[in-house]
Structure 1
Amino acid sequence: MLNDFKQLLGEHGKDTKLNLSNLFANVDTSGLTPVQFYGTALSLAYSLEHKTLIEAVESEAKEHVEENVFAAAKLAATLMAMNNIYYRFVHLSSDKQFAKLPAGLRMNGMANPGVEKVDFELYSLAVSALNGCGLCIDSHVSVLVKSQMSATAIQAAIKLAAVLNAAKTAYVLEQA
């Protein structure tokens, strides 16, 4: 299904097609486990809210991961949709009184996301990068580094964010 999706990206999406092929064909050398790679890709696709892209990534992931990864990816996309807005505001506001206030936002799902916590942190990092929340990016990177995740693995998750975002853009432009 991902191959079908790539065909819909137009000539302007040529580099994006190549990057998608490279990322998905080289999971073994990415520094990520299949649960980390496909869970991250799913989290990003759900966050990008693009039906055709979601279907393509889900189709690829079904061959490699169990249903709990799909649920955890949806949880990461949903929680980061909330957290990235809130904490980006706290970070960017010149009025620092907001950083001293409790967030008061329910995030119970983070305590038991259905996958290893380090994997969920990776999903959350990639979505936070996609959403541009610097405070969240710093927090997730710190946890991942303390958990001994390699810089190469972290970079692979961010590459997924960049390329899937480009894929959505190329698709939208081709359909316009």
Structure 2
Amino acid sequence: MSIAALKEALPAYAKDTKLNLGSVTTTSSLTDQQLWGAMLACALAARSGRVIAEVSEEAARNLSEEAFTAAKAAASIMAMNNVYYRATHLIGDETYGTLPAKLRMTVIGNPGVDKADFELWCLAVSAINGCGRCLESHEQVLRGSGLPREQIQEALRVAAVVAATAATLEAEAALVAV
């Protein structure tokens, strides 16, 4: 099992990350599609080859082909949107927020899976990428679609644990290479 491989690879000092990785993948209140789509999108956003390989293997067993593709699309579109919207916010001139983005993002309107699931994955990726504007926007859409705060929080937990796993394993790989 690939999550087991990630847990095994984590060093002793990352015991909390290891325990949390087990917890988010076995006790989640999210549906399998929501959970594994978030895991895959977050692995891609965290940019760790090892985490991407291990999570994608397990996600492929738990997602339809359409959901697998949609999770990848969520990571891709948010890689662009998070940079743009975070930058327009951080500049501090509200005029930028009124200008049309002129960025193609049709996948958000037609992701090929339940819109709420896609929005949840976009929210999780936005947490990893640190875009407050996107977090606010996706949270509002999710709350408007009836998703409870507890499930939104669960996606944020997934993002945090996947990001910590990726950071730890990448750091360990760099330390070994020194």
Q: Give the TM-score band, short-chain normalised.
A: over 0.9
Separation of aligned partners in 2, 1:16 and 1:143: 30
Give the aligned partner of residue 51 of structure 2. 53
Give the aligned partner of residue 145 of structure 1. 143
Calculate percent identity across the aligned residue pairs. 44
Separation of aligned partners in 1, 2:172 and 2:9: 7
Asked if the contact 2:47–2:166 (Cα under 8 Å) also holds between the matched residues in 1, the reply is: no
Unpaired segments of 5 or more residues in structure 2? none
Match of 2:156, as an amino acid? I
Separation of aligned partners in 1, 2:61 and 2:106: 29
Unpaired segments of 5 or more residues in structure 1? none
* Secondary structure, aligned partner of 1:90: helix
Match of 1:49, as an amino acid? R
Structure 1 stretches of 4+ with a deviation exceeding 4 A read none
Give the aligned partner of residue 25 of structure 2. 24
Asked if the contact 2:17–2:164 (Cα under 8 Å) also holds between the matched residues in 1, the reply is: yes
Residue-pair matches, total? 173
Separation of aligned partners in 2, 1:15 and 1:74: 27
TM-score, normalization by structure 1: 0.94
Give the aligned partner of residue 2 of structure 1. 3
Asked if the contact 1:42–1:57 (Cα under 8 Å) also holds between the matched residues in 2, the reply is: yes
**1:19-168 matched pairs, under 5 angstroms:** 19-27=20-28, 30=29, 32-168=30-166
TM-score, normalization by structure 2: 0.93
